[in-house]
Structure 1
Amino acid sequence: MNYYKGFFINEPVGNNIFSYDERKQKKIYVPPLKEGNIEDAKIGENIVFCEIEDKNEINALGLEYFIKYLFNEKDVYIFDNHNHAFYFWVESLKRGKFKKGIKLVHVDQHKDMREPNTYIKDINDLENVFKYTNFNLNVGNFIKPALKLGIFSDVVILDNLNSFYLDINEEFVLDIDLDIFSKDMDYIDYDLKISKIKELIKKSKVITIATSPFFIEQNYAIDVLKEIFKF
C-alpha cells in the first residue's frame, strides 16, 4: 500500500518543528509518491520546509511528486526532505531488495546523525513506519534509528574531499543528498563528485535521493540529479 498520497503537516512535529513558534507559515506539505523516471522530478507549488535563518523566514518549495524509479533493476526513490529515506529503506528491505545488516553509504553535506526524540521499536507495521518517518523524524535524525534496528550494520559518510577517494566493495544501500553539490561544497571538484556517485550507483543495491530544498536551489538539484544518471 502506498501511504504517500500528499498531505499537510500542521502541528510542530517532524520537519515542521523547526522555528515553529517564530514563523508565520505553520504548515508544510509532503508530496504524493508515484512511479516514474528522472524526468518526472519537478518543483511543486507547496512549501515543504520552513525555517528562520538570520531572522528571515525561509519557505522552501519541494517536489511536485516523490518518484519511485526503476534503474537497471534497482529501486531508486527521489524525494525532497531527507527523513523520508527511512521509510523507503524499510519498504525496500521488506520487498527483499537488500539484505538486512549491509552498510549504508551516505553522500551528504551533513552527517544527519542526530538522536531522535523517540526510537521506533520495530518495523513490522509499514503504516507505523510511515507515521514515525513523517511525524517523529526530521532531516537531521533519520539514520540512527536504521542503525539501532539493524537495517544497516554501519554507515560510511562521504562529506569531505578525502572521503570521495574511499573504495567501498561490500554490499550497500546508497543514500544521496544533492546538497553535496551546494555552494558550500564547491571545494570538492564537481566532476569528482559526479564520477564517484556514478560509481556508487553501479555498485549499490537500492538508492535513495533527497533534493533538500532548504539547502540547495531546487532547479540546480534537479539538473544534477539528471546528470548522475547519464551513463
Structure 2
Amino acid sequence: MANISNAFGTITIPAQMVEEHPQELILLIKLMEKELSRFDYNTILSDDYAQVCADILNATSPHELVLDFTGSGRWAYDNNVHAFFEWLLPENATIDDYSWLVSLFDNKDATLTFSFLDYEQGSEALYRATIQIHPYIHEKRLATKVVYEHSDDIDVTAANLMAYDFYEQAYDRHNAHELIDNAEFMMELTVFIPREFITASFLTAAWEKYVLYVYDDESIFDQVIRDIVAYYHHTHSLNA
C-alpha cells in the first residue's frame, strides 16, 4: 500500500459554470461527495452540502464558487488531482450515463482549480500546489487534462508544519531543546537515562545524530525516546 499524504485547500469553480449550469454543478458536487470520500485516497468537501446548493441556486450575480476540502493523497495529493475525473465516476460507468457532466464542462474555460498544501511524513514531502484541470473523453472514458500546474516545495521543519496547521505541536533539531520543559516526556525519558545527563544541548545533539526527522507531540513517546536512549548508550560506550 502506498503512503498516505494529508492535504487541505480549496477547489475554485468559475462563475460561468455557476451561472450557466447550476443544476449540473450541484450534481457534480453530489457525485464528488459520494464517490471521492469512500476510499483511502480521498477528497472530502468541508462545506455543508445543503448550504452549497443554496448558494448556487440563489446566486443573484455571477461569482465563482470556492469549496474547502481535505484530502488523503496516494503518496502525494497531486496524484489524486491528476486522476480526478477517472476516479469520479463509479466503477464500470460509461460516459453516456453522465451526459450532464460533459455539458457542464462544454466550455474550454470550464475548469476546476485545486489550491492546496500537502504533507507526507514518510518521504518528508511538504509543498503547496495549484492545479487546474478539465475533463476530456479518451476511449469512451472520462479522463483528466491538466491545464495548469505549479508547485513549490516547503522545508519540512517543525516550525513550518505548525505554521501550516499540520501539527499543533511538533519537534525537530531546531527546537528539540524545548523538550527539557516537557514534564511528561522527561518523566518517560528519565526511566532510561539519569536526569543529570539530560540537558538542552544533549537533546539537540541526540536529535541531530539519531532522531533526524520531525515528530508531533504524540509520536515523541515512542520512536524519539528510543532514539535518544540509543544516542545516550552510544556516547557513553565511546567514553567508557
Larger Rg: 2
TM class by smaller structure: under 0.3
TM-score, scaled relative to structure 2: 0.23
Structure with the bigger RCO (C-alpha within 8 Å, sep 6+) is 1
TM-score, scaled relative to structure 1: 0.24
